[in-house]
Amino acid sequence: MATREPIGVVGTGYVGLVTAAGFAELGNEVWCIDIDAEKIERLRRGEIPIYEPGLADLVQKHRGRLHFSTDIADALEHARLLFVAVGTPPTYSGDPDLSAVRAVVASMPASDHHALIMKSTVPVGTGASIKRFFAEQGKGDFRYVSCPEFLKEGAAIEDFLSPDRVVVGDDGDWAGDAVVELYSPLEAPLVRTDIASAEMVKLAANAFLATKISFINEIANVCEETGADVIEVARGMGLDDRIGPKFLQAGIGFGGSCFPKDVLGLKQLAGNSGYHFQLLNAVIEVNELQKRRVISKLQKHLGTLIGKRIALLGLAFKPNTDDMREASSLVLSARLQADGATVVAYDPVADEEAAKLLPGVTLASDALAAVDGADAVVLVTEWQEFRDLDWSAVADGMGGTVLIDGRNALDPAAVRAAGLTYEGIGRG
Ligand code: UGA
């Protein structure tokens, strides 16, 4: 293997750790930096603070190549390319909070042989403003590259190692060349472009995927009114290769740390620049309403929800993660409690997060314990273990018979055969 250049990764969250472990797999020495001393200590001991399939094994496999430190000087000393993978959470205005990005930028020394490689999702124009800041500080030789990340939680390692594409936005200098070289073993299609366009690719891609989901959710809602089955409709639509089958699963809305934030961020970015992005307003509103539609489904079957016991299966925003950010379960459990219901829930891994975020919700130790005595069960997150549930055992334990499949993940016939009343999303 040709010599691989050492790199720095600032921020050890999902994106940072996966990037670090992924490059270690490609043979790079990686200096991982985080301001959270406790997290760095845990990582040094080999403990992975997040749940991501395959990540712990990969970090363990490459312990010799992965170096953890709270001191950014360690990365600057060993590497010329510093990937920035710090959080950019949404603020009240809908604009992302760039304070962590700014802190990293401000801590950079003047240098003609270092570059920041932006992995964090940032508004279009961030690269230009960072370059302006460097110039004003007399650090104009510090290079800047936008290299947005497209990985999905739960499949992050695979997404890193086999990306659909690598996007590199830069000024056409050594730093962009070096980033292209870093990714070259992956043999992915390369989009080398200017910084603003690279920044926009990321926001536009997430906004488009979110639009696809809200679109199929609205089709599902119309299917309910007209007697069509959205699963059949999506199958028929998806075979048109201009549409494609992915991201056409109707359900109770999208969540996570990215779609809600990035759709709102792009809407605000457009608004701040004087353009009213109408379509994204609808995408956001449809998603908000979609989470609440479960309530009217439950009322249809149960009448008032006061005093009713509702079991939620799954709490994470999607399977194979413990991430609860913007999860549909948050809105759903709050609405149910506001309507007077008692909420019991179970998630295979997100219970620790859930205990902090869901006050008043009783967390059960397994699915059957959660459904025990329930008037209705709502499948919120389509974990495999729920698909494999013994529906007769569920029916025996429940007090009522209603099952709302919020992800259209179950076989209606199997559920009905157990004596339960099945209702999915948009299934006629
Ligand atoms: C998303 C993008 O898919 C990644 O490409 C991107 O890198 C990432 O955001 C990011 O910006 O960091 P992620 O948030 O991990 O990844 O999750 P997805 O698998 O895309 O799912 C997002 C949400 O959409 C979930 O709540 C999921 O349940 C929902 N969804 C997805 C649907 O409701 N229907 C679908 O057909 C697909």
Q: Is the pLDDT of residue 369 over 60?
A: yes
Q: Give the contacts of 130 (CB within 8 A, at least 6 positions apart).
A: 101, 105, 116, 118, 144
If you take atom 9 of ligand 1, which residue's CA is the nearest one?
A: 258
Alpha helices (H) along 107-258: 126-136, 156-161, 174-183, 195-226, 230-238
Q: Which atom of ligand 1 is nearest to the CA of 15?
A: 12
In angstroms, what is the span from residue 226 Cα to ligand 1's centroid?
Answer: 28
Q: What span, in angstroms and rounded, lies between the C-alpha atoms of 198 and 203?
A: 9
Q: What span, in angstroms and rounded, lies between the C-alpha atoms of 209 and 31?
A: 33
Instruction: Round to the nearest angstrom and report the end-to-end CA distance of the chain.
Output: 57
In angstroms, what is the span from residue 152 Cα to ligand 1's centroid?
Answer: 6
In angstroms, what is the span from residue 425 Cα to ligand 1's centroid?
Answer: 18
Q: Which residue has the tokens 């996966």?
A: 18
The pLDDT mean for the chain works out to 96
Q: Give the contacts of 335 (CB within 8 A, at least 6 positions apart).
A: 292, 295
CA distances from residue 423 to 295, 317, 407 in whole angstroms, order as listed: 13, 20, 10
If you take atom 27 of ligand 1, which residue's CA is the nearest one?
A: 254
Q: What span, in angstroms and rounded, lies between the C-alpha atoms of 383 and 313?
A: 9
Range 144-159 average pLDDT? 95
Q: Which atom of ligand 1 is nearest to the CA of 151?
A: 7
- For 383, the token pair is 């974990």
Pocket test for ligand 1, best of 254, 287, 380 (most atoms within 8 A of CB): 254
pLDDT of the residue at 3: 86
DSSP states along 247-307: T---SS---SSSHHHHHHHHHHHHHHTT---HHHHHHHHHHHHHHHHHHHHHHHHHS--TT
pLDDT of the residue at 352: 87
Annotation says 147 is catalytic: no
Buried/exposed code over 24-53 (b: 16+ C-beta within 10 A; e: otherwise)? bbbebbbbbbbbeeebbeebeeeebebbbe
If you take atom 25 of ligand 1, which residue's CA is the nearest one?
A: 254
In angstroms, what is the span from residue 363 Cα to ligand 1's centroid?
Answer: 25
Range 294-310 average pLDDT? 97
pLDDT of the residue at 330: 95
Cβ atoms 301, 308 nearer than 8 A: no
If you take atom 30 of ligand 1, which residue's CA is the nearest one?
A: 254
Alpha helices (H) along 156-194: 156-161, 174-183
Q: What span, in angstroms and rounded, lies between the C-alpha atoms of 102 and 100?
A: 5
Q: Is the pLDDT of residue 95 over 90?
A: no
Give tens-digit pLDDT for 217-248.
999 999 999 999 999 999 999 999 999 999 99
Pocket test for ligand 1, best of 17, 18, 153 (most atoms within 8 A of CB): 153
Rounded percentage of the chain residues whose pLDDT exceeds 70? 100
Range 75-88 average pLDDT? 97
Kindly name the residue from 32, 147, 223, 258 that is annotated as catalytic: 258
Q: Is the pLDDT of residue 80 over 90?
A: yes
Q: Which atom of ligand 1 is nearest to the CA of 255?
A: 26
Give tens-digit pLDDT for 7-64.
999 999 999 999 999 999 999 999 999 999 999 999 999 999 888 999 999 999 999 9
pLDDT of the residue at 2: 64
CA pseudo-torsion sign 131, 133, 139, 142:
negative
pTM higher than 0.75, yes or no?
yes
pLDDT tier, 75 (very low <50, low <70, confident <90, very high otherwise): very high
Q: Which atom of ligand 1 is nearest to the CA of 248?
A: 36
One-letter identity of residue 135: A
In angstroms, what is the span from residue 328 Cα to ligand 1's centroid?
Answer: 13
Q: Which residue has the tokens 């130790």?
A: 365
Q: Is the pLDDT of residue 1 over 60?
A: no
Cβ atoms 122, 89 nearer than 8 A: no
Q: Is the pLDDT of residue 324 over 90?
A: yes
In angstroms, what is the span from residue 247 Cα to ligand 1's centroid?
Answer: 8
Range 132-157 average pLDDT? 96
**CA 142-134-165 angle, 5° bins:** 55
pLDDT of the residue at 20: 98
Q: Which atom of ligand 1 is nearest to the CA of 262?
A: 11
User: Virtual CA dihedral for 391, 353, 356, 46, nearest 10 degrees?
Assistant: 140
Pairing state of beta strands 309-313 and 376-379? parallel
User: Which of 164, 219, 162 has the alpha carbon at shortest distance from 185?
Assistant: 162
E strands, 81-149, in order: 81-84, 115-118, 143-146
- For 62, the token pair is 């490459």
CA distances from residue 328 to 42, 299, 310, 406 in whole angstroms, order as listed: 30, 18, 15, 10
Higher pLDDT, 56 or 1: 56
CA distances from residue 367 to 317, 375, 386 in whole angstroms, order as listed: 17, 15, 8
Ligand 1 proximal residues by C-beta, below 6 Å: 121, 149-153, 206, 209, 213, 247-249, 251, 254-256, 258-259, 262, 317-318
Q: Is the pLDDT of residue 66 over 80?
A: yes
Range 258-283 average pLDDT? 95
Domains in the chain and their CATH numbers?
Answer: 7-193 (3.40.50.720), 208-423 (3.40.50.720)
Give tens-digit pLDDT for 124-134.
999 999 999 99
In angstroms, what is the span from residue 217 Cα to ligand 1's centroid?
Answer: 15
- Other CB atoms within 10 Å distance of the CB of residue 154: 18
Cβ atoms 55, 21 nearer than 8 A: yes
pLDDT of the residue at 428: 77
If you take atom 20 of ligand 1, which residue's CA is the nearest one?
A: 152
Using DSSP, state whether 33 is helix, strand or coil.
strand
If you take atom 16 of ligand 1, which residue's CA is the nearest one?
A: 152
